[in-house]
Structure 1
Amino acid sequence: MLRPSSPSSFRRPRTVAVVAVSAGVALAGALGTSASADLQSRLGASQAKDRQLQQGIAADASHIQGFQGRIDDLRQRLDVLQGTLTGEEEQLTSLQTSLRHARAHLTILRLRYVQDRRTLARQLVGQYEAPKPSLVDVVLHAHGFADLLELADQFRELSQHNATVAGDVRAARTRVGLQTDRLTELEARQERVTQALQAQRDEIAQLKLAVVDRQLVYVRARSAKSAELTSLRANRGRLEKQLAAIQAKNARIFASAASGSGPGLPSGGAPAFSAHAGTYGFFQAPGTNYSVGDTPRIAARLDVMGKALHLHLIGISGYRTPQHSVEVGGFANDPHTRGQASDTPGLEGVPEATLNKYGLTRPFGGAAELDHVQLLGSI
């Protein structure tokens, strides 16, 4: 058989779409199963949700802290107002006690005033009804000069007493009236101050309750997010265990393939390839031709190997006409034009020894030719 001068003579050009398909299939082959790819996707979504929840919890905590500062400030203002209000209430109580004492004192003074007026009235009536003594009578009835002086002193003392009682009553009434007015005014002012302080305290207390209610919204939201985060992480832990089990299984499979201890072709060779919808095996890309030359047997052996090693292999190039091969950057006489080769992404990690066990070979070296296979012994 005519062979090319270098492996690069048979390198296949890739369109952007084909490169993307190859990369996706290579990743699927590396993971080993579509289940592991699904778990990886779910784990990625879980981690993204985890970050979102953590950001939400941090934002809620920031809001809660901001509200806490306002609540502490309002609490301090309430404490100050409560202390002031307590002092004002004590002063009001003291004023009310003083007012009661003043009113009681006024009552006593009024009683004394009434009593003194009655005494004064009796004295005045007695003086009026008694005959007015003349100087001659006073002198004649006096028992000596000393008695005369004593009588004069008694008249003078009586007059002074009557005047003093009347003055005391008038002064007491004035004092009591002034004190009553002053205490009444102080009591009224103190009541206004106390009511204003109570209103201010109630207003601040209502404001504090409103802030606490707003803070509670974020506290509940944070608690809900924390609970969701805990559940999310527990579920992610289960997914990670499942993925680890799948990866361990795939590692054992690839280790077996690398050591060349895989099952290989069954006795009697590979059955004829038939398209299927399974997870593992060979899958012919749309628009490709695997019906010419060796390509049907290549497809059948790739299918057996893919199922045995849990690989998802897609044939992106089988038989090509010389014209088509030249159009895509190949050569008019390369193995594809004779139906002797397949480009199959997903084979990159399969050792040559394992390929040989399935009657396949990778004839050309280089990273660009890792997915190019032909029948063993056909070269």
Structure 2
Amino acid sequence: MPVSRSTGSRLRRGWTLGATLAVSGAVALAPPVGAPARGAGLDGRIQRSRSRDRQLQAGIAADRRHAAAYQGRIDDLRGQLARLSPGLRQERAELDRLQDELRADRAALVRLRAQDARDREVLADQLVAIYEAPPVDLVQIALDSRGFADLLSRFGQLRRIAERNATVTRRVAAEHRAVAATTARIGRVEARHAATTAALQARHDAVQRLELELVDEQLPYVRARRGKEHRLTALRRRRAGLVHELERIQARQLRAISGGTPVGGADGYGFFPAAGTSYAQGDEPQIAARLQRMGRALHLHLIGLSGYRSPQHSVEVGGFANDPHTRGEASDTPGLEGVPEATLNRFGLTRPFPGAREADHVQLVGSRR
């Protein structure tokens, strides 16, 4: 039963030749004629490198998704910190201002206590003097006075002493009340502001701790992603070296196709394998040689878009794992579309599948389909 390659053909017809030449790594490279073991080893290493490349890319994408999930929460917490910080700075500035005020109040309190001590000493002296003095005898004062003026003076002195004692007593009581009120006010201000500042600082610290915890949880994914990115870069650098080496082998192989006959011609006629294609396995060298002879003879510019393909690559471009390309028995060759079947047969080629989409697919006459 014929096997159609229409799906792969549709995909390949969507490619431009420039894209095919540019993406040389997208086509499985084959070993050169005369060095199959070396070429096969390089091809296997390149295929394994591409498989590892895909694994690393998948791992990087997963790590990036995990890190991004944490990043949204981290950004939210950082926004909360940004909103809390101005209030905390303002509260701290207010605390500094109040502390300056408290220092002034404490200095005033010290002065009040000193004045209170002095007044207490004066009052104590007055009390001692009153206690030690003999009782006041108004008759004796009158008898001892030298005239009426002296008598008035003596009575005025007694009155002033009594008034001063009363004044000192009242002032000491007032100073005690002022000291007590100032001390109480300072205590209330300190307690209220300390509580407000502590609460705001506690909230700020809690948000910051949560942010740090999330960053710690996110960090392994970030480090893992960076490690995979570094390994991917090194992997691609090594694969580029392998591809370059295999391309040099492929170039020598292409020059050896058709028994040493050059592929293509300076005049633009002949067979021109696209960069990265392989015409070294199975029937591919014979197909390439016959396409070269036909292109030169009929003045055709024939492009070898796809010769041998590994099963994996064939599946990737829309074919399947056991199509003619994977057996080295076919070539997709733009430029053949208008060539009749009879002309193809003259050069030992055939177009095994019908339809316009298969018009560039050729195999050797008599090959299995």
TM-score (structure 2 length as normaliser): 0.58
Shift of 1:189: 1.9
Correspondent of 2:51 among 23, 37, 41: 41
Q: Structure 1 171/256 Cα, relative in aligned 2: closer, same or farther at 3 Å?
A: same
* 1:114 corresponds to: 124
User: CA offsets per residue over residues 190-217 of structure 1, 9 Å max, x none?
Assistant: 2121122112212222222222212223
* 1:31 corresponds to: 28
Q: Structure 1 349/154 Cα, relative in aligned 2: closer, same or farther at 3 Å?
A: farther
C-alpha distance in 2 between matches for 1:120 and 1:155:
20
Q: Does the 8 Å CA contact 1:102/1:176 hold for their aligned counterparts?
A: no
Amino acid at match of 1:207: R
Question: Does 1:348 find its partner at 2:294?
Answer: no
Q: Structure 1 350/111 Cα, relative in aligned 2: closer, same or farther at 3 Å?
A: closer
Amino acid at match of 2:160: T
- Identity of paired residues, percent? 14
Aligned to 2:188, the other structure's residue is in SS state helix
5+ residue gaps, structure 1, are 1-10, 139-147, 265-279, 283-297, 303-308, 315-341, 352-359
Correspondent of 1:12 among 2, 6, 24: 2
Shift of 1:44: 2.5
C-alpha distance in 2 between matches for 1:343 and 1:191:
92
User: CA offsets per residue over residues 246-277 of structure 1, 9 Å max, x none?
Assistant: 4335544554554453789xxxxxxxxxxxxx
Q: Which moved more, 1:182-191 or 1:105-114?
A: 105-114
* 2:80 corresponds to: 70
Aligned to 2:350, the other structure's residue is in SS state coil
**RMSD of aligned C-alpha atoms?**
4.5
TM-score (structure 1 length as normaliser): 0.56
Kindly tell me the number of residue pairs found equivalent between the two proteins: 274
C-alpha distance in 2 between matches for 1:245 and 1:122:
118
Amino acid at match of 1:12: P
Question: Does 1:183 find its partner at 2:174?
Answer: no
User: CA offsets per residue over residues 211-266 of structure 1, 9 Å max, x none?
Assistant: 221222343345434432332122112321343344335544554554453789xx
Amino acid at match of 2:106: Q
Question: Does 1:193 find its partner at 2:175?
Answer: no
* 2:208 corresponds to: 212
C-alpha distance in 2 between matches for 1:99 and 1:86:
20
Q: How does 1:68-217 map to 2 (within 5 A)?
A: 68-120=78-130, 125=135, 127=137, 131=140, 150-217=146-213
Question: Does 1:373 find its partner at 2:364?
Answer: yes
User: CA offsets per residue over residues 107-136 of structure 1, 9 Å max, x none?
Assistant: 3223323333444455552637x85766xx
Q: Structure 1 369/231 Cα, relative in aligned 2: closer, same or farther at 3 Å?
A: same
Amino acid at match of 1:348: A
Q: Which has the larger radius of gyration?
A: 1
Q: Does the 8 Å CA contact 1:57/1:222 hold for their aligned counterparts?
A: yes
User: CA offsets per residue over residues 164-207 of structure 1, 9 Å max, x none?
Assistant: 22122212211221232133122212212112211221222222
Q: Does the 8 Å CA contact 1:60/1:218 hold for their aligned counterparts?
A: yes
User: CA offsets per residue over residues 328-360 of structure 1, 9 Å max, x none?
Assistant: xxxxxxxxxxxxxx9723333489xxxxxxxx9
5+ residue gaps, structure 2, are 11-24, 30-42, 261-279, 288-306, 313-321, 334-346
C-alpha distance in 1 between matches for 2:120 and 2:323:
127
C-alpha distance in 2 between matches for 1:181 and 1:313:
101
Amino acid at match of 2:183: E
C-alpha distance in 2 between matches for 1:312 and 1:281:
11
Q: How does 1:55-66 map to 2 (within 5 A)?
A: 55-57=65-67, 60-66=70-76
C-alpha distance in 1 between matches for 2:310 and 2:91:
77
